[in-house]
Structure 1
Amino acid sequence: MFTTMHSAKGLEFKNVYIIGTNEGTIPHEKSYDIEDEKKKTEQIEEERRLMYVAITRAEKNLYISSPINKYGKKVSKSRFIDDIKAPTNKEMQETTIGEKIYHKRFREGTIIQIEGNSIKVKFKDGDRVLDYKVCLTKGMIWKI
């Protein structure tokens, strides 16, 4: 099935391919032409959120392409590619029950259960079930 980033919200796919991830495409070149700096920044951030939606549609595999040339001209990769800090499968598999973590909001906790990407963590104020991969990707959680 093929879809656009705009219509992918709420859907999930085993494999996601994001093609042509270059400056001028995502973020779109029209974003650069906005005179008002505040509106320009807001538009680029909206396109960053759109890219995030596309990335998080992948259940298992994510593939991102960024060609070097487009229509015979040299192009650069999207600035959003360098923002991606997804954990590797190895990092996910190395997580163990009893491990101490730190969460930006909930503070220090201990992993008490692991099920796929979900972890149950015992914090001072109670247990929480978290999507570990999302928390790592967003820099909300780290091992201590």
Structure 2
Amino acid sequence: MRRPNRKRSCPREKRFGQPPAGVDLDAVARQANYIGSQEHKSTPMPGQIFVGPRPNASLCDPAFSPTKPSWATLRLWLETGIMNGQFQATWDRGFPKYVWHKQGDQAFLAIHSGNGEYHGFPITKDEWPEDWL
């Protein structure tokens, strides 16, 4: 049974880190993929069984849907965050666990969920990495 009113899993250490020795960030960025999370979608995602959003989940902005061009924007932000070193030092199976990207005054956090796949969400300024403050 899930705990009600779950908090987001933001990293405790909000600081950019270094990749493990010998890691090619461009190759990691090319292999990373933004897939989103069904728990936060109000519409089905291609290739996934639609279960609907979790009852207490915040819903993603419908403008960022896999069937719209903006889905490629999310993928680009993930890739850019990795290539620019905007990730925490913790790595998970060859990928940074947390990747940040800032677009204007809005910042986003992507979390590695396995196999190079990420889901993400906008974050508030108090959740920004120290490197941006």
Scaled to the shorter chain, the TM-score interval is under 0.3
TM-score by length of 2: 0.23
Q: Normalising to structure 1: TM-score of the pair?
A: 0.22
Higher relative contact order, chain-length normalized (CA < 8 Å, sep 6+): 2
Q: Which has the larger radius of gyration?
A: 1
